[in-house]
Amino acid sequence: MARRALAPLTVRDFWNLPDDGNRWEIIDGAAFMTPTPTIAHQQVLLNLAILFRAHARRRRLGEVLIAPVGVVLDEHSVVEPDLIFVARAQRTIVRDKAIHGAPALLVEITSPATASRDRGLKRDRYARAGVGCYWMIDPRMSTLRALRLGAAA
């Protein structure tokens, strides 16, 4: 569900969105709410995070983070992907409250409520921001779609 304000929302507005148990994002100035994830979603996320973190630590590749962590793509877009990988060379984009810039990899675990936004609006927004790789995982269909988006991918 999108909520459009009179003026495009900004990063500053993101920090003032309701703390109502839902995940909120701002994409191109519009607010989007994502309902609480399912158990299957959380199981996939946890398993993926454990594997990614162990691999990244063992090889000193970078940092793995999971939602809810804001990723500021620009003044009018702040997203909360399910899993974020920031390569070691990008570590300056990791700040106290959020990631500021395009990470090497973003992962979204889709649901019926988010699938079309994940496959369209978010994929396009991530590409414009320079995100290197984007994975979409559908736990219901047991599929993973991996896309190379940015030049650094």
Query: What one-character-per-residue DSSP string does 74-132 give?
Result: ETTEEE--SEEEEEGGGGGGB-SSEEES--SEEEEE--TTTHHHIIIIIHHHHHHHT-S
Total number of domains constituting the chain: 1
Q: Mean pLDDT per segment of 10 residues, for the chain of length 153 residues?
A: 72 90 91 90 97 97 96 97 97 96 97 93 96 96 94 51
Q: What is the pTM of this model?
A: 0.91
pLDDT at 153: 46
Q: Is residue 19 part of a domain?
A: no
pLDDT of residue 115: 93
Q: What is the CATH number of the domain that holds 102?
A: 3.90.1570.10
Domain limits for position 137: 38-148
> Distance between CA atoms of 124 and 114, rounded to whole angstroms?
15
pLDDT at 35: 83
Cβ-based neighbours of 146, under 8 Å, separated by 6 or more: 133, 134, 135
Give residue 29's pLDDT: 96
- Residue 12 placed within a domain: no
pLDDT at residue number 27: 97
Which pLDDT value is given to residue 89?
Answer: 96
Is 132 inside any structural domain?
A: yes
Cα of first residue to Cα of last residue in the chain, in angstroms, is 31
Residue 26 counted as domain residue: no
